[in-house]
Structure 1
Amino acid sequence: MSRFRGNWSAAAVLYLVLAIVGLVGTWTFNITSIVEKRDFLGEWFGSGPSVNSLGVDLAVVAVAAIVFMVAEARRLRLRGIVVYIVLVPVVALAFAFPLFLCARERHLTRQRAAER
């Protein structure tokens, strides 16, 4: 992908945009759920097989993403991995994972620039 200013590659910008979309998209519904005093987890896991399927799907992907994030953070010596892991259940996987990928891409871009 093409390179922007500093360590902002096109991939890093894309991941950041996806993180913002994930944050706004999930929290629009989360806030609605809070305002309407809905049973968030009860609806998520108790609204039938199709919703349960999505819940299991998301849970498995979340665990895989966390394993990947920890492994990549160790491999690349990225700091702050705990923040991304906490963001997964507290904010949303749709925000935390692309945000991690953005940070990873920026780190890799800095590494490539340093090697030159």
Structure 2
Amino acid sequence: MIKNILLIEDDRFIGEMYVRSLTMANYSVEWAVDGKDGLVMARNKPYDLIIIDIMLPEMKGDDILNELRGNDDYIPNTKVLIMTNYQQDEESRNAIANHADGYLIKADITPHKLLDIISKL
């Protein structure tokens, strides 16, 4: 059951919206606004779910995913959702999806839809 969530998202509006929605749904949420801080947080505390934006300052989301679930899986008990509005080619999208539990397009995801997706993980 998912209770502890790490959100790695640099857009303040989106981050605040998701933190507020997730908190109201009784999830414990921590939020990092850049990739390096997010990676440190992901490595130093167990989370049930990590939501990672692809385009981040300091370190891109796909690099964070590779660090956490590349050759060694540092977070075997953690679900990972990738969120982006960035158009990627099919090969890049498939490579990311192979290491993540979900690949979401931000423009298609409302807070309500996100809560529904999380409940199904």
Quickly name the TM-score band, shorter chain normalised: under 0.3
Structure richer in helix, relative to its length: 1
Which has a greater percent of strand?
Answer: 2
TM-score (norm 2): 0.23
More relative contact order, 1 or 2 (CA 8 Å, 6+ apart): 1
Bigger radius of gyration among the two: 1
Give TM-score scaled by structure 1 length. 0.23
